[in-house]
Amino acid sequence: MQNLAQTLTAQAINASLADLLLTLADTSKAISQAVRHGALAGVLGATEQENVQGETQKKLDVITNDMLKDALKADGNVRGLASEEEDYVVEVSKDGKYLVCFDPLDGSSNIDINSLVGTIFSVLPAPAGELTEQSFLQKGRDQVAAGYVLYGPSTMMALTTGNGTQFFTLDPNSGEFLLTQDQVTITPDTAEFAINMSNQRFWEAPMQTYIADLLIGELGPRERNFNMRWIAAMVGDVHRVLCRGGIFTYPTDNKNPQKPYKLRLMYEANPMAWLVEQAGGKASTGYQTILDVQPTAIHQRVAVILGSANEVDTCLSYHGQDYSQEPQVD
């Protein structure tokens, strides 16, 4: 079986980007170890700190963020990084060609219940000149690599460099990521959806109607029944969608009018959107293709609707094209 390095060579990925991706892969192996040791290593539970987004940091949020930061600083190919757990962008190596945005531990509320978590990353080209937040504000379309590592019953990496989406599985014997699925393809149709139903009363009208039609199943306009899943870690829900199709959404809600969206554009929505598109699926905010959203801040949030192409289209047909409905936030 091909390992990750051999796959990158076969894809003719330049040496600097390949090096960087191998650094991310190596770090995720170490993260996988930390996650597996759980309570034995005293890494479970929360810290007393909050991140810039006002969320209490879990110990493992901080540990995994430091692991990635240290590894990327030592790598030499990285000009700067942005992380969910860093208030500001971090300058790394003057001569680095790439910017890395990451969510070091996605689904961290799952960690204390020994359930799915992962690391999500996005790689962008570094513009010339001084490094500022502005350097990072490139559309998802400009990504040169994107992926996640899922710390599940097996540790898996999903990766795209624009050559389709690949799955690698960490072989516990050799310690290598081996290519276990070359061209991941999302089925265009599905009978499975993923949404946090407890927010139902806070959604916009189009999402209320769309989900109501799924729930009424064969008795309603869809004329068939749908099943529901919610892992509460985007990395787990998107992995299921890549494996067997489905629609995943964290839509706009008015629970807190200052925060109408939950998921972060630069290190959650964009990398997942590219993985999904490269597997033949679609990813939208409801009003715009995610990869075409012009970012305005590194910690910006967006609505996300992604997965099986025909089902995403059906969901979007409820939204129409009325951009004035889209909540604006700074």
Which residue's Cβ has the minimum distance to ligand AHG? 234
How many residues would you count in the chain? 330
Q: Which of residues 163-202 bind ligand AHG (CB under 6 A)?
A: 196
Asked if 253 is part of the footprint of ligand AHG (rule: CB under 6 A), the reply reads no
Q: Which of 233, 279, 290, 315 touches ligand AHG by CB under 6 A?
A: 233
Size of the site for ligand AHG (CB under 6 A): 13
Query: Does 108 show up as a binding residue in the annotation?
Result: yes
Is 291 an interacting residue with respect to ligand AHG (CB under 6 A)? Answer: no
**Considering the complex, what minimum distance in angstroms separates the CB of residue 261 from ligand AHG?**
11
258-277: contacts with ligand AHG (CB under 6 A):
262
85 is in an annotated binding site: no
With CB under 6 A as the contact rule, the residue among 31, 101, 126, 234 that binds ligand AHG is: 234
Q: Which of 19, 75, 103, 204 binds Mn ion (CB under 5 A)?
A: 103
With CB under 6 A as the contact rule, which of the stretches 22-30, 93-101, 152-160, 227-235 interacts with ligand AHG?
227-235
Contact partner, 215, from Mn ion, ligand AHG, none, Cβ < 5-8 Å per class: none
Q: Taking a C-beta distance cutoff of 8 angstroms, is the pair 83, 210 a contact?
A: no
Distance CA 72, CA 44 (A): 24
- Sketch the per residue contact string, 65 through 84, with Mn ion: x for CB under 5 A, - otherwise: -------------------x
Q: Does 281 bind ligand AHG (CB under 6 A)?
A: no
What is the 3-state secondary structure of the chain?
A: CCEHHHHHHHCCCCHHHHHHHHHHHHHHHHHHHHHHHHHHHCCCCEEEEECCCCCEEEHHHHHHHHHHHHHHHHHCCEEEEEECCCCCCEECCCCCCEEEEEEEEECHHHHHHCCCEEEEEEEEECCCCCCCHHHHCCCHHHCCEEEEEEECCCEEEEEECCCCEEEEEEECCCCEEEEEECCCCCCCCCCEEECCHHHHHHECHHHHHHHHHHHHHHHCCCCCCCEECCCCCHHHHHHHHHHHCCEEEECCECCCCCCCCCEEHHHHHHHHHHHHHHCCCEEECCCCEHHHCCCCCCCCEECEEEECHHHHHHHHHHHCCCHHHCCCCC
Our CB check for ligand AHG shows the closer of 96 and 236 to be 236
Residue 183 · residue 35 · CB < 8 Å: no
Q: Is 259 annotated as a binding residue?
A: no
Q: How far is the CB of 107 from Mn ion (least distance, A)?
A: 6
* Chain centre to alpha carbon of residue 257: 24
Residue 103 in marked binding region: yes
Partner interacting with residue 233 (select from ligand AHG, Mn ion, none; CB below 5-8 Å by kind): ligand AHG
Between CA 306 and CA 283 the distance in angstroms is 4
Query: Nearer to ligand AHG by C-beta: 7 or 155?
Result: 155
State which of residues 75, 106, 192, 204 lies at the interface with ligand AHG (CB under 6 A): 106
User: Residue 106 or residue 176: which is nearer to ligand AHG going by CB?
Assistant: 106
55 is in an annotated binding site: no
131 known member of a binding site: no
Contact status: 237 vs Mn ion (CB under 5 A): no
Binding of Mn ion at residue 277 (CB under 5 A)?
A: no
Nearest to 12 by CA among 180, 144, 138, 100: 144
Binding residues for Mg(2+): 84, 103, 105-106, 268
Would you tell me which residues interact with ligand AHG (CB under 6 A)? 55, 84, 103, 106-109, 196, 232-234, 250, 262
Would you tell me which residues interact with Mn ion (CB under 5 A)? 84, 103, 105-106
